[in-house]
Structure 1
Amino acid sequence: MLSCPQVGDFSVSLKAPGRNKHFRVHVEGALYCIGQRKFPTLDQLVAHYQRAPIYTNKQGEKLYLVRPLPRAD
């Protein structure tokens, strides 16, 4: 079950085999937090997960952020 997001929180969504994955990014003061990791900017968070997996399943499959999709306004 997902909890209601707090004002100022973000989410990272990515297309994964079988279904999309969503990760909550919450703001703590001036830091953007995803799981136990904390980043001073959203750009640094994204850059990190382009190099390191944002998700690894039990079979060892790793998912990385690849490219942003344009936001539909």
Structure 2
Amino acid sequence: MSEPGSPSWSRQVAAFAVHPGFVEQLLAEHVDDGAGRCSSPTCTTSGGYSRARWPCGMSQLADAAVDLIRSRRRT
């Protein structure tokens, strides 16, 4: 996954932002499980043995896409 603020990150955020329903789904699936891990079973560490720390990369991308969607509505 790209680093926040990188050109690749910005392209991913822009791609997500054109699909608001998809972004909403990601935000619903990728939430804190109460133990500081992502609740999505598809969101694992690189070794695949445990769930990724939350906020995971997908939730961060989705949050950034929401920000972009909102900023476009204001203009």
TM norm. shorter chain > 0.5: no
TM-score by length of 1: 0.29
Write 1 or 2 for the structure with the bigger share of strand.
1
TM-score by length of 2: 0.29
Write 1 or 2 for the structure with the bigger share of helix.
2
